[in-house]
């Protein structure tokens, strides 16, 4: 408690932004306070990302930013070592809910508070296995959210799809980073690779040095690339896609948004569905529910998307059997 008291004194000026937004809300009644902690970079206005989707869905539910909703955003810009300080800032603001995107963001928030409700957004981690909640049905404590169920991170499934598209591939790179959840995904990919008879070459983009990571892939003579699920890798999606194109590496990603941005393929849950569920949990907490009472939600919609224009540029012919399983084909 002494540490938090010290931080409270040192950072008390940080309460000003929320107070100002509350005044701007005028006489509309209570102003709900939402905080977002994201390991990646602030998205461009043109990007369809979870944070924008969340605020839009809350607006549709009657929570309008600048009126009865105040939002504080903190981005680590890929420097995950800054997350604890950013989480401490958010704690001083005493929001009604903190949305923590990824396990590494949650870890920082948990160190800052055990009282403020936290809604997690996990794309590739099991919160029970991580010790974040007691169970999916009964989380306990101050944490709930949306996460994949135990048993898969989908890294293995993406590897299987790559092999179906490239049956002669023998070496497949897995692009990873320093986030703890990357290790479990890489492990799953390696296990599936052994069953498929291919070798996985795990390449970590340390310090977001993607040029060096792709240079390593070239030296390793890999045939294809699977990009792990990660908030930081997702925020850097365009740079990664551009490098994969330059190195002529067929690649599969987590979200359909990667394919819309020029990536070859994606397989994963729907960002919109995940953040619709996050918005519902946030609203229930606004209305008085406690995270301990709210089961951790699990995505039920998974999308397989292919970009045929990218395939043509790479000189790839996607097998008809694979095309038939796609949920959407971008021409």
CATH number at residue 286: 3.40.50.2300
pLDDT(270) > 90: no
pLDDT reading at 134 higher than 50: yes
Asked if residue 127 and residue 160 are part of one domain, the reply reads no
Sheet holding 32-38, edge to edge: 69-75, 32-38, 97-101, 118-121, 143-146
Looking at every residue in the chain, the average pLDDT score rounds to 87
Helical axes 271-286 vs 50-60, angle rounded to 10°: 50
Domain count, the chain: 2
Residue 171 has pLDDT above 90, yes or no: yes
How much is the pLDDT for 103? 86
Task: State residue 159's pLDDT score.
Answer: 94
CA angle (108 as vertex; 102, 114 as ends), nearest 5: 110
Q: Which residue has the tokens 């390696």?
A: 190
Same domain membership, residue 171 and residue 108: no
What pLDDT was estimated at residue 48?
56
Helix (H) or strand (E) holding 267: strand 265-269
Q: Three-state SS for 74? A: strand
**Of the segments 99-108, 229-238, 259-268, which one has the largest average pLDDT value?**
259-268
pLDDT value of position 160:
95
Provide the pLDDT for residue 8.
43
**Do both 139 and 254 map to the same domain?**
no
- Are residues 145 and 7 both part of a single domain? yes
249 within 8 A of 222, measured Cβ to Cβ: yes
What pLDDT, on a 0 to 100 scale, did the predictor assign at position 193?
Answer: 93
Give the mean pLDDT of 146-167. 85
Query: For residue 315, what are the contacts with CB-CB under 8 A and spacing of at least 6?
Result: none
Distance CA 79, CA 215 (A): 22
pLDDT reported for residue 218: 97
Which residue did the predictor score with more confidence, 242 or 21? 242
Q: Do residue 193 and residue 135 come from a single domain?
A: no
Same domain assignment for residues 176 and 258: yes
Both 84 and 116 in one domain: the answer is: yes
| Average pLDDT score over residue span 68-72 | 97
Question: Is the confidence at residue 240, as pLDDT, over 80?
Answer: yes
| Sign of the CA dihedral running 35, 40, 46, 48 | negative
Tell me: pLDDT of 6 over 60: no
* Between 134 and 249, residue with greater pLDDT: 249
Count CB-CB contacts under 10 A for residue 127. 25
Same-domain check for residues 173 and 137: no
Range of the domain at 45: 2-149+271-293
Greater confidence (211 vs 79) lies with 211
Assess whether 42 and 106 both reside in one domain: yes
Give the pLDDT confidence score for residue 27 in this predicted structure: 41
* pLDDT of amino acid 45: 62
pLDDT at residue 20 is higher than 70 = no
What's the confidence (pLDDT) of residue 184?
A: 82
Q: Is the pLDDT of residue 9 over 60?
A: no
For 197, the token pair is: 């008879």
Q: Are residues 101 and 226 in the same domain?
A: no
196 CB-side CA count, 13 A: 25
Higher pLDDT, 281 or 3: 281
Q: Provide the pLDDT for residue 216.
A: 97
Q: Check residue 24 and give its pLDDT.
A: 41
Q: How far is CA 312 from the centre of its chain?
A: 29
- Whether residue 256 sits in one domain with residue 243: yes
Q: What is the pLDDT of residue 43?
A: 78
Q: Are residues 131 and 189 in the same domain?
A: no
pLDDT range class, residue 25, cuts 50, 70, 90:
very low
| Contact present, 305 and 328 (Cβ < 8 Å) | yes
Q: What is the mean pLDDT of residues 277-298?
A: 95
């Amino acid at each position: 408690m002494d540490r938090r008291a010290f931080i409270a004194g040192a950072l008390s000026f940080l309460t000003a932004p929320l107070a100002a937004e509350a005044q701007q809300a005028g006489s509309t009644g209570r102003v709900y306070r939402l905080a977002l902690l994201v390991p990646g970079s602030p998205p461009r206005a043109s990007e369809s990302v979870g944070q924008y989707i969340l605020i839009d869905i809350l607006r549709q539910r009657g929570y309008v930013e600048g009126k009865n909703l105040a939002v504080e955003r903190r981005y680590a810009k890929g420097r995950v070592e800054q997350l604890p300080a950013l989480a401490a800032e958010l704690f001083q603001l005493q929001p009604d809910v903190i949305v923590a995107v990824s396990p590494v963001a949650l870890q920082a928030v948990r160190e800052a508070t055990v009282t403020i409700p936290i809604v997690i957004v996990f794309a590739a981690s099991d919160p029970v296995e991580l010790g974040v909640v007691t169970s999916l049905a009964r989380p306990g404590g101050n944490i709930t959210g949306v996460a994949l169920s135990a048993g898969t991170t989908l890294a293995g499934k993406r590897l299987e799809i790559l092999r179906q598209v490239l049956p002669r591939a023998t070496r497949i790179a897995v692009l990873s980073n320093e986030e703890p959840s990357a290790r479990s995904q890489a492990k799953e990919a390696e296990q599936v690779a052994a069953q498929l008879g291919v070798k996985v070459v795990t390449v970590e983009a340390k310090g977001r040095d993607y040029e060096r990571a792709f240079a390593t892939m070239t030296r390793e003579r890999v045939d294809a690339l699977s990009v792990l699920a990660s908030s930081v890798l997702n925020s850097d999606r365009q740079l990664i896609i551009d490098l994969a194109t330059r190195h002529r590496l067929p690649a599969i990603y987590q979200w359909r948004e990667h394919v819309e941005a020029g990536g070859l393929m994606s397989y994963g849950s729907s960002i919109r569905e995940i953040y619709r569920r996050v918005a519902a949990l946030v609203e229930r907490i606004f209305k008085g529910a406690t995270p301990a009472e709210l089961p951790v939600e699990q995505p039920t919609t998974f999308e397989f998307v292919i970009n045929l224009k990218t395939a043509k540029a790479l000189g790839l012919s996607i097998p008809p059997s694979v095309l038939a399983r796609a949920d959407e084909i971008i021409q």
